[in-house]
Structure 1
Amino acid sequence: MTFSALTITNVGLVLLVLLLIGVWAYGTANRLDRLHVRTDLAWQALDAALSRRAVVVRSLGVDLPAAEADRLTALTLRAERVDRDQREGAENDLARALARIDAVAVRPAQQAEMADADARVLIARRFHNDAVRNTRALQGRRLVRWLRLGGTADMPEYFDISEHTLRTGAPSELPREYEPGSTRVSARVVLLDGQSRTLLLRGRDPQGVGEPFWFTFGGGVEAGESLREAAVRELYEETGLQVAPDLLGGPIWRRMSLFPFNGDMMHSEEHFFALRVEHFEPVPAGLTELEQVALLEHRWCSAEEVTALGESGEMVYPQDLARLLPDAERFADGLAEGQGPVEERTIR
């Protein structure tokens, strides 16, 4: 049997393509394995930082009433003993308890220890989430999934907790008119169109630190404003859309976070409203110079598209937005008469 030159050439090209695919797949699988190792090591460092902070928190009990000290001890023990998938909730419970403790009641040396422990957690969490983002970006690629180059490894999850620490001012009692203090209170709006797509902004740190991220419209509450007033003002400034405050449904969610922004650490307390609108293209009406630098683009996204953003390694806030969108839809047309007050849910 003889083969023509064309047949031999075609077979050679096929073998070459298969060889190249094999080399790429082998390299990608090795790289993905290294990323998973890095993620595991980052989690171990974060777990160690959280455990050290728990020890410091328990030591605060010396300066606190017995009941408060016992509560802190119980919360730290729970945070240390729960399974990993419950760790975020347990750490957030501990953070809320810390936020109710006035720093004045604690000795300066203990305050310093607490600040150091918080800083270590912040750094460890940042490294962990960076490792998770890089791993998800590679493991989420379509060809990597089709060829199962990740083996049986699960997609790693971000660890996002409220890093509220000892209170240095009066606690927030929102919703109410807010006087800006040590914590930046924000009003945000989940916009939904007739096809249940939500409008998101993509932004970055003005100093170029870290990766861009997606988030909902809104911003800080100014002195003398209610949450609703701040929400509609921010909505107009960022999209050009003018709506009456009473058309907003909610507030439906509450989110606490601590993150670096423009060279500072920002403690953020966010309250979310929902609103149904006709599909439109935003035309900002009042962006600040900082916002003009920080805001990159906008996009209408379905729940599936929001999920795809996260799987591709993009950060989306709130973290569980895709899963939460059906909840937002219930209130997107405003609060129905006779429905009663909305109880805000704490989200990530």
Structure 2
Amino acid sequence: MTSSGTATAFLVLLGVALLVGPWILGTANRLDRLHVRTDSAWAALDAALARRAVVTRAVAAVCGRPELGVAADEAEGARRPDREAAENRLSALLAGLDRSVLAPALAAELSDAEQRVVLARRVHNDAVRDTLALRRRRSVRWLRLAGTAPTPAYFEIAEPGGDAEASGLVQRVSARVVLLDGADRVLLFEGFDPSRPDELFWFTTGGGVEPGEELRDAAVRELFEETGVALPADELVGPVWKRHAVFAFDGLNYASVEWFFVGRAPVGSEVDTSRFNEVEQRTIRRHRWWSAGELAGEDAVVYPAQLAEELPGVVSGWDGTTRSIR
């Protein structure tokens, strides 16, 4: 290359650096601020949950309900991966509490503590949503602008409703299918809660078990309704996993027990979502086949949360044990 050519190439590279450099720096700084915001929001939520635990212990002493105090202690001392389940157990006990026996001041303090948890959780999840949205951009992932910062996660706990019925938990048993293709990838749908359309998450095919319906039959039915894939019931493996979850969806709080089976899509199968019901049509955006490596490497919110780490075990062969997962 001639000296003039070298100079031209250098000037081009310099121009690109001057154009792209400020964007990279600005994006990295914005991402850093979002991580700080998420950490601060979690600290505020943790403080709100701790205050609820303190008030609950006071309520337990007044009412002679030691199980409330035990649940408050367990929630406050739970590790982060177990915190949602522990807080939901406490919420369920508080939902069934007769508050008419409490002194007005204590009842008001408990209600205030619960509402502060609701507000802090929403602020936290808003911060997580914004952080994940930036981290998921291809340019951010390619340039690794998130550095070593851990991927933030939504905090999913049921919220107290405005009346007794809404405050209760709807019991639900679900049959779900980990549908694999020829490359051992799992089919997931991306959807959202109608009351929080900006909080996107991925999940397996499946749904509620109808009265009198067997788990395996429900799994086959749901699989066909949601994907068009028809599998004989005896071709499903499992249940390989069992998951307990408490969550809010479309204004209702659910206590769900989910049973997971594994199925193989026939060669050449295409996903057909034309049988989606009205809610599914409104809340499911798209579907995609994921490998375990892709799940582990993406900043995606996936349910069950342990899908990436547990998937290789069922791909290699089920050992006959139904495992509890998050």
> TM-score, length-normalised on structure 2?
0.79
Question: Aligned partners of 2:188, 2:199: CA distance in 1, in Å?
Answer: 16
CA offsets 1:10-56 (integer angstroms, 9 cap, x no match): 43322211111221122112212221221122112211221122123
Of 119, 122, 125, which residue of structure 1 is paired with 2:121?
Answer: 125
Residue 265 of structure 1 corresponds to: 252
Q: Is the contact between residue 61 and residue 72 of structure 1 (CA under 8 Å) also seen in structure 2?
A: no
Q: % of aligned pairs identical? A: 43
Q: Which whole-Å CA distance do the structure 1 matches of 2:228 and 2:174 have between them?
A: 19
Matched pairs, number: 315
91-100 or 234-243, which deviates more: 91-100
Unaligned stretches of 5+ in structure 2? none
Decide whether aligned partners of structure 1 residues 287 and 113 sit closer, same or farther in structure 2, where only a CA change above 3 A counts: farther
SS in 2 for 1:189: strand
**What displacement does 1:257 show?**
3.0
- Pick the aligned partner of 1:201 from 189, 193, 203: 189
Instruction: Please say if residues 42 and 131 of structure 1, whose CA atoms lie closer than 8 Å, have aligned partners that are also in contact.
Output: yes
The alpha carbon displacement at 1:123 in A equals 3.7
Aligned counterparts of 2:31 and 2:63: Cα–Cα separation in 1: 48
1:89 aligns with one of 82, 88, 98: 82
Tell me which residue corresponds to 1:256. Answer: 245
2:60–2:66: 8 Å Cα contact kept in structure 1?
Answer: no
SS in 1 for 2:210: coil
The equivalent of 2:307 in structure 1 is: 321
Give, in whole Å, the separation in 2 of the partners of 1:267 and 1:188. 16
Structure 2 residue corresponding to 1:296, chosen from 282, 285, 290: 285
Unmatched 5+ stretches in structure 1: 80-85, 170-180
8 Å CA contact 1:221–1:230 kept in 2: the answer is yes
List per-residue Cα deviations over 1:150-194 (Å, max 9, x = no partner). 45x52233143444889x89xxxxxxxxxxx72343322211234
Q: Describe the SS at the equivalent of 2:309.
A: helix
**Alpha-carbon displacement from aligned partner over 1:197-254 (angstroms, at most 9, x marks no partner):** 1111122345772243221111123333343333222112111233344534116121
Tell me, in whole angstroms, the C-alpha distance in 2 between the residues paired with 1:293 and 1:146: 32
Report how far residue 88 of structure 1 moved: 3.5
State how far apart, in whole Å, the 2-side matches of 1:108 and 1:234 are: 45
SS state at 1:283 partner: coil
Identify which range, 47-56 or 99-108, moves more after superposition. Answer: 99-108
Structure 1 counterpart of 2:324: 345
SS in 2 for 1:201: strand
The 8 Å contact of residues 49 and 124 in structure 1, kept in 2 or not, is answered as: yes
Q: Pick from 185, 189, 207: which aligns with 2:173? A: 185
- Is 1:138 the counterpart of 2:134 in the alignment? yes
Q: For the Cα contact (< 8 Å) 2:38–2:128, is it kept in 1?
A: yes
Q: Secondary structure at the match of 1:232?
A: helix
| Aligned residue type for 1:265 | L
Q: Aligned to 2:155, which of 150, 157, 160?
A: 160
Change (3 A) 1:192 1:297: same
Deviation track 1:126-157 (CA, whole Å, cap 9, x = no partner) reads 33233234334434656546656445x52233
The equivalences for 1:58-77 within 5 A come to 58-62=57-61, 65=64, 67-77=66-76
- Are the equivalent residues in 2 in contact too, given 1:194–1:276 (CA < 8 A)? no
Query: What secondary structure does 2:244 align onto?
Result: strand
Post-superposition Cα deviations, 1:53-112, rounded to whole Å, max 9, x if no partner, equal 212322331365565255235324524xxxxxx234145235335536771555465777
Q: Distance in 2 between matches of 1:196 and 1:59?
A: 52
Q: Does 1:17 align with 2:16?
A: yes
Aligned to 1:38: 37
Which residue pairs with 1:54 in the alignment? 53
Cα distance in structure 1, aligned partners of 2:189 and 2:144: 32
| 1:322 CA drift (Å) | 0.9
The Cα offsets for residues 293-334 of structure 1, whole Å up to 9 and x where unpaired, read as 32222221101122344x2xx3222222211213443676xx
CA 1:155/1:69 → structure 2, altered by over 3 Å: closer, same or farther?
closer
Whole-angstrom CA distance in 2 between matches of 1:102 and 1:21: 54
